[in-house]
Amino acid sequence: MTETAIIADSIACIPKEQAEDFKIKIVPANIFFNGNVYRDLIDLSSAQAYEFIDRAPQFWKSSAASPEDYAEAYRELSKNAHNILVITISAKLSMFYDSARAAKEIVQKELPSTVIEILDSETAAAAEGLIALAAARAAEEGKAFEEVTTTARKVKERVRFLGLLETIRHVYRTGRIPKLASQIGSLLSLKPILTGGDGVIRFAGAARTKRSGIEKMLNMMREQTGHSEPIHVAIMHADAAEQAHILRERIATEFNCVELFITDFSPIMAYATGRGTLAVAFYKST
């Protein structure tokens, strides 16, 4: 038996290899397209999902994992772990947190000796993923459950998210801005920069070109981390691998990274941001 098992959702953008190495259980979102149901990252790759969005966005929908999906994960992990820490995308952005809590109620009588704690990351994408990875490392080191959860909460307080969109054209799909406003922004060639805070995603600025947008995003990183502080960084991209690798080289050169990796941006979020999105999640080690 192990002390602690970690659960995250597929929107956390944790690379498959890292999830396997650190034994993080990924509960997938559901993607509905043209009458079929797919489990995110299991039945459908990110690249395939982007193709679906481009082909017929009107037939695309997604939903959080169900309480029974989480209950099944709890039952599976309880066979080898005394405690389970669940980290979810912000409860203000999705129903994953509510499903995880409902599942805890479902299994509490059949798993009386298993401690289940659910942490709302109050963020999204790889910012959530970095919290889960930090917790998984602490668990792998054999730390007590309380120390693992404390580690996750500390990273939650420090982690930041920045995303640069190729276009504002698709953001109306979130329902947060009118379609006409997004179309006007697209005509002006505005490239929005998004940030996360208090559980929601907000506009942090805009740029006329991708290059100037990247400079603005890196400057925001510097303001929040400094030049020499050791930091953990995840770079995300929506079908823009070459640009992500170029960004990785810049970040590796200009920042003191103790962790730096590239991962696919969740297609669940890319539905609103569109292809070409580049994003970073990061936090200072101390």
Report pLDDT digits (tens) over 232-262: 999 999 999 999 999 999 999 999 999 999 9
d(CA 109, CA 113): 9
Q: Is residue 59 part of a domain?
A: no
280 and 152 assigned to the same domain: no
Q: Are 152 and 172 members of one domain?
A: no
Same domain assignment for residues 129 and 178: no
**Token pair of 75 as six digits:** 């039952």
Q: Which residue type does 280 have?
A: V
Question: Does residue 218 lie in a domain region?
Answer: yes
Q: Say if 58 falls within a structural domain.
A: no
Are 120 and 151 in a shared domain? Answer: yes
Query: Average pLDDT over the chain, rounded to whole?
Result: 90
Q: Which residues of 172-181 are buried (b: 16+ CB within 10 A; e: fewer)?
A: bbeeeeeeee
What is the per-residue pLDDT for 174? Answer: 53
Residue 49 belongs to some domain of the structure: no
Whether 13 and 120 share a structural domain: yes
Residue 178 has pLDDT above 80, yes or no: no
In a domain, residue 88? The reply is yes
Residue pair 244/237 in contact (Cβ under 8 Å)? The answer is yes
Residues 182/172, Cβ–Cβ less than 8 Å: yes
Residue 273 CA to residue 213 CA, distance in Å, equals 15
Among the three residues 157, 182, 199, which one is the final residue of a domain in this structure? 157
CB-side neighbour CA atoms (13 Å) of 223: 8
The CATH number that applies at residue 144 is 3.40.50.10440
150 and 166 in a single domain? The answer is: no
Give mean pLDDT, residues 8-31.
97
The reported pLDDT for the residue numbered 169 is: 55
Lowest mean pLDDT among 162-166, 187-191, 211-215: 187-191
Whether pLDDT at 175 is above 50: no
Looking at per-residue confidence, does 173 or 233 come out higher? 233
Residue 60 pLDDT = 84
CATH number for position 195: 3.30.1180.10
For position 198, what pLDDT does the model report? Answer: 84
263 in the same domain as 166: yes
Q: Please tell me whether residues 184 and 220 are part of one structural domain.
A: yes
- On whether residue 181 sits in a domain, the answer given is yes
Same domain, 181 and 153: no
Residue 11: pLDDT over 60: yes
Domain contains 37? no
Whether pLDDT at 180 is above 60? no
Residue-level pLDDT at 113:
95
What tens digit of pLDDT does each residue of 119-163 get?
999 999 999 999 999 999 999 999 999 999 999 999 999 999 999
Nearest to 273 by CA among 161, 113, 145, 198: 161
**Do 148 and 230 share a structural domain?**
no
pLDDT in tens, 70-80: 999 999 999 99
Supply the pLDDT for residue 69.
97
pLDDT of residue 176: 46
Q: Tell me what pLDDT residue 189 has.
A: 67
Give the residue from 157, 173, 204 where a domain finishes.
157
Binned at pLDDT 50, 70 and 90, residue 177 comes out as very low
Same domain, 273 and 190: yes
> Domain count of the chain?
2
Of 157, 182, 217, at which residue does a domain stop? 157
Report pLDDT digits (tens) over 197-223: 788 888 888 898 999 999 999 999 999
Q: Is residue 128 domain-shared with residue 198, that is, in the same domain?
A: no
Q: What is the DSSP string of 185-206?
A: HHHTT-EEEEEEETTEEEEEEE
Q: Is the pLDDT of residue 171 over 80?
A: no
Portion of the chain with pLDDT greater than 70, in percent? 92
Nearest alpha carbon to residue 124 among 154, 166, 94: 94
For residue 228, what pLDDT band results from cuts at 50, 70 and 90? confident
Residue 53 lies in a domain: no
At 274, is the pLDDT very low, low, confident or very high (cuts 50, 70, 90)? confident
Residue range of the domain that includes 81: 2-29+64-157
